[in-house]
Amino acid sequence: MTFPAFTPEIEASVAAVRADVARLHGELVRNSLVVWTGGNISGRVRLSDDGRADLFIIKPSGVSYDDLAPENMILCDLDGHVIPGSAGSDRSPSSDTAAHAYVYRHMPEVGGVVHTHSTFAVAWAARGEEIPCVITAMADEFGGPIPIGPFAIIGDDSIGRRIVDTLTGHRSRAVLMQNHGPFTIGTDAKDAVKAAVMVEDVARTVHYAREAGPLIPIPQEAIDSLYDRYQNVYGQSSDARR
């Protein structure tokens, strides 16, 4: 059952985000971005009148990806508290819930957050290195390098604070948290998953390129041009992007 204070519009929005977030976790597995039960996706509940609500859906903690379903996704408020009486509320939410909640509270444009332990992105994070913008796909998708966020211990909103601090004013939709791994943001959960897939792809490519020889940076004016074209011209709409 849903929380009795919810209107039919909120209930419908919650159900839609539950379904999306549950389904999208399969993309993390298909793209080899997670192992065992690690990683998580969340999605903000949006409403037609103001475009957003003070709620989000996130993966339960420690549940096999094969067992994830809309009914065991967890509904939280923007303080990271589980909504009592909602479907899945008998489970513990992801250990990253406080970090996701902090991002939603402080970045109202964000509609989805993803965290993975993808191999090559984590390797850059373990070295505390940003991924330099040396391929056009990075310029297109991230508008420059993928930055490093400072080390933070999991369990409270410390990671969320550092995500927001690092990405505020930055074009990148991804951050590599030092000694931890990538977090990505998007307009919705699907957009954030796309960013997570792209992070691992460029992390792998740039790693191999650096192993083979010196990297060739892309001039800033070219990065700006590529980013503007991809974000505002390519495919004529965000739904038509690669």
Residue 234, pLDDT score: 78
Report the distance separating Cα 181 and Cα 178, nearest Å: 7
Give the side-chain half-sphere CA count within 13 A for 75: 26
Domain extents in the chain: 8-235
Residue 2, pLDDT score: 46
Torsion over CA: 197, 97, 85, 4 (sign): negative
For the chain, which residues score pLDDT lower than 50?
A: 1-2, 237, 240-242
Residue 205, pLDDT score: 98
Residue 46, pLDDT score: 83
Residue 50, pLDDT score: 61
Fold classification of 8-235 is L-fuculose-1-phosphate Aldolase (3.40.225)
Q: Are strands 55-58 and 74-77 parallel, antiparallel or unpaired?
A: antiparallel
Q: Give 94-131 pLDDT, tens digit per residue.
A: 999 999 999 999 999 999 999 999 999 999 999 999 99
Q: Give 44-73 pLDDT, tens digit per residue.
A: 998 756 655 799 999 999 999 999 999 999
pTM of the full predicted structure? 0.93
Tell me the catalytic residues: 115, 117, 140, 180, 234
